[in-house]
Amino acid sequence: MKAETGISLVDLDEDGVDRAFRADVLKGLRQQQKAVPARWFYDEEGSRLFEQITRVAEYYPTRAETEILGAQGAQFADLIGPERAVVEFGSGSSVKTPLLLEAIAPAAYVPLDISGDFLRQSAAALAQKFPHLPVYPVEADFMRRVSLPDEVSALAKLGFFPGSTIGNMVPRTAVDLLRSMRATLGADEGESPMLLIGMDLVKDRAVLEAAYDDADGVTAAFNTNLVSRINRELGGTIDPAALEHSAVWNDDLARIEMHLRATRDFSFEVSGEKFSLRKGETIHTENSHKFTRRSAYTLLLAGGWTPVRRWLDEEERFSVILAIATEQREAP
């Protein structure tokens, strides 16, 4: 495994405050509908709470996707073939990634993540499990085109994007990401890249709302942890007790929305700037889009990927889709 020594992508000011975090929070709180991007959930405590979410009874996506990855290995091997470089968008999960790598016998593994710490941890764990597989972690923001290590330039690529993380993005951002992935994986050079992507399915409202509002309150704690992070890192004075967790299915936009709702009128400061919420007003903290077969395919096609095959878990709650970079052509 090659140790990456590049400087951190996190840009801190003279007080050690993450500039991008502060800018996103202040901009989001100044809006009529207050909102904070979901990517800021994942500090150390947030990552730990998300791990815990994946184990609560109501949160089915992780179990359903893991079931698919475990069951369909032979078909993955068939359709993808060996000797590709697997490029994972995100640090990789200790359970899902090995299932894929075992199934297809790749020539290299390249995890991409903006957090060098998560990246090095998970890359090291993986290198232990697969001692003969070259691992080349890259610290990068994969929302943009990323240059891959020279060591994998001659290999065909398979992008891997599990978890239905694509569902956190509104469609235009999701399309931008799919197009960036195409560029990162070298869609216009050599053998066409493929993409294996997890996309959660539209289903009964009650099942979806329970998955994002579990009885043990783990998801509520995950949502509220954002407030603790703002208070700690940005000198916030938000009273966490004045906000309650809410998870609601938006049927027009086919997404679960998570909000923090004010239980009374109150004012607070963040980085010295004053804000207020009236009772019932919310801070919108996350979208989790759900897909049908057609909506998933339309999104992939809009991003330059042609669906090849789709798999579901036994209970048909979650989909994993294999796609191939669409060839550029002029006529229909």
**In the complex, what is the shortest distance from the CB of residue 64 to ligand AVJ, in angstroms, rounded to a whole number?**
11
- CA nearest 100: which of 78, 77, 118, 123? 77
**Residue in the shown chain whose Cβ atom is closest to ligand AVJ:** 288
In angstroms and rounded to an integer, the radius of gyration of the C-alpha atoms of the chain is 20
User: Whats the size of the chain, residue-wise?
Assistant: 332
Shortest spacing between CB 212 and ligand AVJ, in angstroms? 5
Binders of ligand AVJ among residues 211 to 230 (CB under 6 A) are 212, 219, 222
The site that binds ligand AVJ (CB under 6 A) totals a number of residues, namely 12
Question: CB of residue 36 vs ligand AVJ: minimum separation in angstroms?
Answer: 13
Based on DSSP, count helices (H) and strands (E) in the chain, helices before strands.
10, 13
Is residue 163 involved in binding ligand AVJ (CB under 6 A)?
A: yes
What is the smallest separation between the CB atom of 296 and ligand AVJ, expressed in angstroms?
A: 15
Binding mask 60-89 for ligand AVJ (x = CB under 6 A): -x----------------------------
Q: Is 53 in the site for ligand AVJ (CB under 6 A)?
A: yes
Q: Is residue 36 part of the contact set for ligand AVJ (CB under 6 A)? A: no
Q: Give the rounded distance of the alpha carbon of 285 from its chain centre.
A: 14
Q: Which residue has the tokens 């095959």?
A: 309
Q: Residue 126 CB, nearest distance to ligand AVJ (Å)?
A: 19
For residue 245, the minimal CB distance to ligand AVJ (Å) is 10
CB of 324 to ligand AVJ, least distance (A): 24
- Residue 314 is encoded by which pair of tokens? 């036994």
Say if residues 325 and 197 touch (Cβ distance below 8 Å).
no
Output the DSSP codes for 86-153. EEEEBS--TTHHHHHHHHH--SEEEEEES-HHHHHHHHHHHHHH-TTS-B--EE--TTS--PPPGGGT
Task: Enumerate residues 250-279 that contact ligand AVJ by CB under 6 A.
Answer: none
Q: Is 46 in the site for ligand AVJ (CB under 6 A)?
A: no
* Residue 159: strand pairing partners: 87, 195
Pick between residue 187 and residue 218 the one whose CB is nearest to ligand AVJ: 218
Interaction between residue 142 and ligand AVJ (CB under 6 A): no
Task: Select 90 or 307, whichever has its Cβ closest to ligand AVJ.
Answer: 90
- Which of 90, 106, 116, 167 is the binder for ligand AVJ (CB under 6 A)? 167
Q: Does 286 bind ligand AVJ (CB under 6 A)?
A: yes
Task: Give the contacts of 325 (CB within 8 A, at least 6 positions apart).
Answer: 182, 185, 187, 192, 193, 194, 195, 304, 305, 306
User: Residue 221 has which token pair?
Assistant: 């704690």
- Work out how close the CB of 60 gets to ligand AVJ at its nearest, in angstroms, rounded to a whole number: 10
The continuous run of DSSP H or E covering 307 comes out as strand 305-312
What residues form DSSP beta bridges with 256?
A: 249, 288
Residues binding ligand AVJ (CB under 6 A)? 53, 61, 163-165, 167-168, 212, 219, 222, 286, 288
